Amino acid sequence: MFIDSHCHLDFPEFQSRLPEVLANMESAKVSHALCVSVDMPDFPKVLKLAQDHAHLYASVGVHPDYEDTPEPSLEFLVETALKHQKIIAIGETGLDYYRMGDRTYESMEWQRERFRTHIRAAIASKKPLIIHTRSASEDTIRILKEEGAERIGGVMHCFTESLEMAKSAMQMGFFISFSGIVTFKSAKDLQETCKQVPLDRLLIETDSPYLAPIPYRGKINEPAWVAKVGEFIAQLKGIEIDALATKTSSNFYECFHIDRKYS
């Protein structure tokens, strides 16, 4: 069985077809999925999905791309994470300089402060981090180290950065998660990085509704298709698909501190 370690089932793309999407998960042997929060106004929908479905989990946090949105306090993140059993992570959080445009480095300080708040909340609540990083590798690793994120760890989600960054993250106890991007013909460098990530540090995800893997590229992605990501990586690493599924599922439970007896 596979696990989708990162999806957004609360997004509008799924509202009219959620029963179908969940049925597709079952058919594809995807046992669980983590529904990830991106802002506070929509967080209640994320939490309700997890509370209504035994095989779904939730996180709490605000994505670094969401600038004009209510800012969560440290106290809110900690209290919310501790209050709800189905919340298993803080995030997604991190840094994204990809769309900086003409902005100065200094003008992005709000993003770095938000990131620090989430790391502190993760440590205080003992919930692992879901890290989004894009065009900000150096600052992401620096801030994680400065805030002592190795005490809680987590996952580098939808990883597209260098092997060197992956190694730095793994040294702090983070898992590396690959999405459908790794299946793209243009992703040769990322495929080489994936080969080098040890199996015991590997997670798989869809980031649905985005980034549908080959052969579904261009379509609305969904958790069932994490199986295609797993199949591709198994072939890339030269291992049996069942071994890949078993290990990445075990890694998910380890990363997010879930007792498999109650999952």
pLDDT tens series, the chain, 263 aa: 999 999 999 999 999 999 999 999 999 999 999 999 999 999 999 999 999 999 999 999 999 999 999 999 999 999 999 999 999 999 999 999 998 878 899 999 999 999 999 999 999 999 999 999 999 999 999 999 999 999 999 999 999 999 999 999 999 999 999 999 999 999 999 999 999 999 999 999 999 999 999 999 999 999 999 999 999 999 999 999 999 999 999 999 999 999 875 55
Q: Which CATH class is domain 2-262?
A: alpha beta
Q: Which two tokens stand for residue 1?
A: 């069985």
Q: What residue ranges do the domains of the chain occupy? A: 2-262
Q: Which helix (H) or strand (E) holds 252?
A: helix 241-255
For residue 36, which phi and psi values (nearest 5 degrees)? -105, 130
pTM: 0.97
Q: Which helix (H) or strand (E) holds 131?
A: strand 129-134
Distances (CA, A) of 1 to 168, 186, 230: 29, 28, 10
Nearest 10 degrees: Cα torsion 33, 38, 43, 45: -50
Per the rule left: phi > 0, alpha: psi between -120 and 50, beta: everything else, 38 is alpha
Q: Which helix (H) or strand (E) holds 89?
A: strand 87-96
Residue 205 contacts residue 182 (beta carbons within 8 Å): no
CA distance 152 to 148: 8
CA distance 207 to 38: 12
